[in-house]
Amino acid sequence: MTESLENNNKFTIKYYKEFLTLAKDQGYLFVTLRDFLKKGCPSKGHVVLRHDLDLKPQTMQKMLDVENELGINSSIFVRITGNAYNFLSYPVLHMIRKAELDGHEIGLHTSCVEFGQINKVDPLKILSLECDLLSKFVNLEGIAPHRDLNYAYNSLPYIEKNWDEIQKLGVSYHAYQKQIEDACVYVNEGFNPHLCWRKYAPEEVIPTGNSMCILTHNHWWYDVHPFEEWR
Ligand SMILES: [Zn+2]
């Protein structure tokens, strides 16, 4: 018989629900990034919940279930190119389209510079392809660059430098625009050396009433342990 240890995973679905409920009870309004920009990026009382769908797309549904139960919306950025998962696989596409029907916003999580470097092609060509494909299935307006933890290709400087061209692809915003960053306390996961909040925990910011952009990665959030999807 193995001794039962206390679960040391802070990033549980239960905790996710707890801090979202706390923010909701405090009177925070949850808006998608598109709506946050349309409202002029208010610096008080708003939460933008952002998901970067990097890995294990099948585990995001638990977080969406919590949001749907609480009646709040998030902005989900999905990858089209890269090796992580196939956006066009039946369950992933189904989940994303259902999420949009439930009121969540879908954007593109692009690694166009990485793809361009590895395949020796123009990043704008890849970005154009990604936007075309994603907009066939969802109402695409926003993009957020992906950056892999273990190597350095970052698409953000490219996106900022080529923003005029990129807007012609039908994109109206990117997630790191200055007016978003200026208006929000940025809450996201980090490592020190293990998984933690990078700077602030949501429950530390909530009492201030300041607007927050909470960026999470579903593959780090689970009920009990990271392999439970195989139960
Ligand atoms: Zn990413």
Number of other residues whose CB lies within 10 A of the CB of residue 157: 10
CA 175 to chain centre: 10
Q: Is the pTM of this model over 0.85?
A: yes
Instruction: Reply yes or no on whether the pLDDT at 150 is more than 90.
Output: no
pLDDT class of 149 with cuts at 50, 70, 90 = confident
Report how far ligand 1's centroid is from the alpha carbon of 26 (Å). Answer: 30
CA 27 to chain centre: 22
Beta carbons of 10 and 203 less than 8 angstroms apart: no
Report how far ligand 1's centroid is from the alpha carbon of 159 (Å). Answer: 15
Name the residue among 117, 139, 137, 116 with its Cα closest to residue 127.
116
Rg over CA atoms, the chain = 18
Report how far ligand 1's centroid is from the alpha carbon of 152 (Å). Answer: 12
Domains in the chain (CATH in brackets) are: 5-220 (3.20.20)
Over residues 26-69, the pLDDT tens digits come to 999 999 999 999 999 999 999 999 999 999 999 999 999 999 99
CA torsion sign for 136, 139, 141, 144 is: negative
- Spell out where 80-159 has E strands: 105-110, 142-145
Of residues 225 and 73, more confidently modeled: 73
Report how far ligand 1's centroid is from the alpha carbon of 71 (Å). Answer: 25
Give the integer Cα–Cα distance in Å for 131 and 85. Answer: 17
Report how far ligand 1's centroid is from the alpha carbon of 4 (Å). Answer: 34
Over residues 152-184, the pLDDT tens digits come to 788 999 999 999 999 999 999 999 999 999 999
Over residues 67-121, the pLDDT tens digits come to 999 999 999 999 999 999 999 999 999 999 999 999 999 999 999 999 999 999 9
Residue 108 pairs with which residues in a beta bridge? 78, 143
Report how far ligand 1's centroid is from the alpha carbon of 147 (Å). Answer: 5
DSSP annotation of 36: H
Nearest-5° Cα angle at 106, 216 to 149: 40
pLDDT of residue 229: 83
Q: Side chain identity at 68, as an amino acid letter?
A: N
Report how far ligand 1's centroid is from the alpha carbon of 8 (Å). Answer: 25
Q: Side chain identity at 142, as an amino acid letter?
A: G
Residue 143 pairs with which residues in a beta bridge? 108, 174
